[in-house]
Amino acid sequence: MKKLKIAYITSANRGLAHYVVSLDQSLRKYFKTYYITYADALIDDLIKEKFKNIYKLIKSNNPQGIIDTLNFLKKNNIKYININIGTTARKNYLLFSILLAQAKLSGIKIIGTLHDVMPFESFYIEPAAIGLLYLNIDYYLVGSESEKDKLQTYFDVPSEKIYIVKHGPYLIFDNKKYTKFSAREKLNIAQDKKTILFFGSLKPHKGLKYLVKAFGKIKNDFPKALLYISTDLTYSPQLKEYVSRIKKSGAAEHIKLITKFCKSSEIEPIFKASDIVVLPYTNVSQSGILQLAYGFKKPVIVTNIFSDASLIHNKFGVVVKNSDVDSLANGISKLLRMDNKKLIKLGEDSYSYAIKYNSWDKIAETIYQISKNDEQKK
pLDDT in tens, 35-53: 999 998 888 888 999 998 9
On whether residue 249 sits in a domain, the answer given is: yes
Beta-ladder partners of 162: 140
pLDDT in tens, 168-224: 999 999 999 999 999 999 999 999 999 999 998 777 788 888 998 999 899 889 999
158 and 10 housed in the same domain: yes
On whether residue 314 sits in a domain, the answer given is: yes
On whether residue 39 sits in a domain, the answer given is: yes
On whether residue 173 sits in a domain, the answer given is: no
Instruction: Note the pLDDT of residue 243.
Output: 66
Whether the Cβ atoms of residue 251 and residue 227 lie closer than 8 Å to each other: yes
Distance CA 83, CA 71 (A): 17
Contacts of 134 (CB under 8 A, 6+ apart): 112, 114, 140, 151, 155, 157
pTM value? 0.90
CA 64 to chain centre: 30
135 and 198 housed in the same domain: no
238 and 326 housed in the same domain: yes
Instruction: Note the pLDDT of residue 91.
Output: 84
160 and 254 housed in the same domain: no
Distance CA 216, CA 200 (A): 21
Mean of the per-residue pLDDT values for the chain?
Answer: 90
Domain that holds residue 241: 180-357
On whether residue 247 sits in a domain, the answer given is: yes
218 and 164 housed in the same domain: no
pLDDT in tens, 248-286: 666 777 888 888 778 888 999 999 999 999 999 988 878
We report the CATH number of the domain holding residue 247 as: 3.40.50.2000
Q: Give the residue ranges of DSSP H helices in 249-359.
A: 267-272, 288-295, 309-312, 325-337, 340-357
How many domains are contained in the chain?
Answer: 2
pLDDT band at 365 (very low <50, low <70, confident <90, very high): very high
Distance CA 43, CA 37 (A): 9
112 and 200 housed in the same domain: no
216 and 351 housed in the same domain: yes
On whether residue 174 sits in a domain, the answer given is: no
Name the residue among 77, 68, 82, 96 with its Cα closest to residue 7. 82
Beta-ladder partners of 205: none
Question: What percentage of residues in the chain have a pLDDT greater than 70?
Answer: 93
3-state secondary structure 91-160: HCHHHHHHHHHHHHHCCCEEEEEECCCCCCCCCCCCHHHHHHHHCCCCEEEECCHHHHHHHHHHHCCCHH
63 and 190 housed in the same domain: no
Whether the Cβ atoms of residue 143 and residue 171 lie closer than 8 Å to each other: no
Distance CA 238, CA 242 (A): 6
Integer-rounded Cα Rg, in Å, for the chain is: 21
123 and 24 housed in the same domain: yes
On whether residue 140 sits in a domain, the answer given is: yes
Hey, how many other C-beta atoms are within 10 angstroms of the C-beta on 232?
16
94 and 111 housed in the same domain: yes
Q: Report which DSSP code applies to 13.
A: S
28 and 106 housed in the same domain: yes
Angle between helical axes of 340-357 and 288-295 (0-180°, round to 10): 120
278 and 145 housed in the same domain: no
On whether residue 74 sits in a domain, the answer given is: yes
Return the C-alpha torsion angle 277, 278, 284, 290, nearest 10. 10
